[in-house]
Amino acid sequence: MSNSYGKLFKITTFGESHGAAVGVIVDGCPAGLEISVDEIQHALDRRRPGQSDITTPRKEEDRVTILSGIFEGKTTGTPIALVVNNKDQHSHDYSHIEHAFRPSHADYTYTAKYGARDYRGGGRSSARETVARVAAGALAAKLLQHYGISVQSYVSQVGSIKLRKPYQELDLSQIDSNKVRCPDGATAARMIGLIEEARDTLDTIGGVVSCVIQGVPAGLGEPVFDKLHAELGKAMLSINAVKGFEYGSGFEGVKMRGSEHNDEFYTDEQGNVRTRTNNSGGIQGGISNGQDIYFNVAFKPVATILQPQTTINDAGEEITLKGKGRHDPCVLPRAVPIVDAMAALVIADFLLRQRANKV
């Protein structure tokens, strides 16, 4: 198990989907940061189930409690423990999945790894674990805000419906203006239609979240292994259902010539170093260059579908399984605050690490 992330701004999460609680310890948040429980709750509310008819209709309030590390409205430098109790963790019937290996779930791999598993829902492999990340991310985002850095994610693709506009042509203040969290209204409407169709056919659909980070000073990232984009990639790939990560020109950039792809430097009127294009995605040699950072994260379709599927049980026998209960037909709208959280955690960590690099 490895349930910690970050080197100086470090989080450690715990909790199963149907256990008593999920939570996080944030160790290394600098002292003196003003933060209220409401700010953390606000981030959790964006991730909460039941927020619209294209997400799971499960009703969970996900109220966060602060157990330590914040005193008189400010961080003290000591570890901050945040806990969210699970509702009704004892009331469900898991007999249909206790012995089943659900297709494209982690039932089989957890059993292979640990010899047994908590079969109540996804247990530790459930995306419910991301509650803890979002809570911790709210602290990181507050730290970034203190230094003038913003993180903004949005849904840029659902199935084959792709938002073609680059982020510069979008109004990112509109991300939360619709239930799919795509800041382009027309595209959002089409995405919503596609998700509804998937839902109504008892199926699910994947998509892409794009993220833009602005205000990052030049110099963040720790080569040669902890390059800024390498940590962003790891952080994103650690989120449930993620299948790919690209930044700047990404996979499309491989088709370009160096003469097209290179970002020429210039000095702007304020005397700042800037680049005329930004195929680098704000990162060169693994270090931020002061331009906007942007990247894409691919999410597969949710594995739980309400149709019958053939699979095996833990005795190796073929069985037919059908999803029960209330599940997301598309994870994308609720993935947005999770991408925001992980991105904020990565940048916060590098912000602190950079302080050690010069005499």
CB 286 within 8 A of CB 224: yes
Helix (H) or strand (E) holding 211: strand 207-214
Binders of its own copies among 165-224, rule CB under 8 A? 198, 203-208, 217-224
Which letter does DSSP use for residue 328 in this model?
-
Give which of 282, 39, 243, 64 is closest to 138, Cα–Cα: 39
Candidate segments 37-45, 47-55, 113-121, 176-184, binder of its own copies by CB under 8 A: 113-121
Indicate the residue type of 285: G
- Residue nearer to its own copies on the CB measure, 56 or 296: 296
Q: Taking CB under 8 A as the rule, which mask of x and - marks residues 242-281 in contact with its own copies?
A: -xxxxxxxxx-xxxxxxxxxxxxxxx---x-x-x---xxx
Q: How far is the CB of 173 from its own copies (least distance, A)?
A: 26
Candidate segments 43-51, 56-64, 314-322, 333-341, binder of its own copies by CB under 8 A: 314-322
CB 321 within 8 A of CB 308: yes
Helix (H) or strand (E) holding 309: strand 308-313
Annotated binding residue at 47? yes
Annotated binding residue at 300? yes
- 3-class DSSP state for residue 272? coil
- Per CB under 8 A, 4 contacts its own copies: yes
φ and ψ at residue 140, rounded to 5 degrees: -60, -45
Annotated binding residue at 124? yes
- Per CB under 8 A, 67 contacts its own copies: yes
- Residue nearer to its own copies on the CB measure, 42 or 146: 146
Cis peptide before 224 (omega within 30 of 0): yes
Lookup result for tokens 């149709």: 307
Known binding-site residues for NADP(+) equal 47
Known binding-site residues for FMN equal 124-126, 240-241, 285, 300-304, 326
Known binding-site residues equal 47, 124-126, 240-241, 285, 300-304, 326
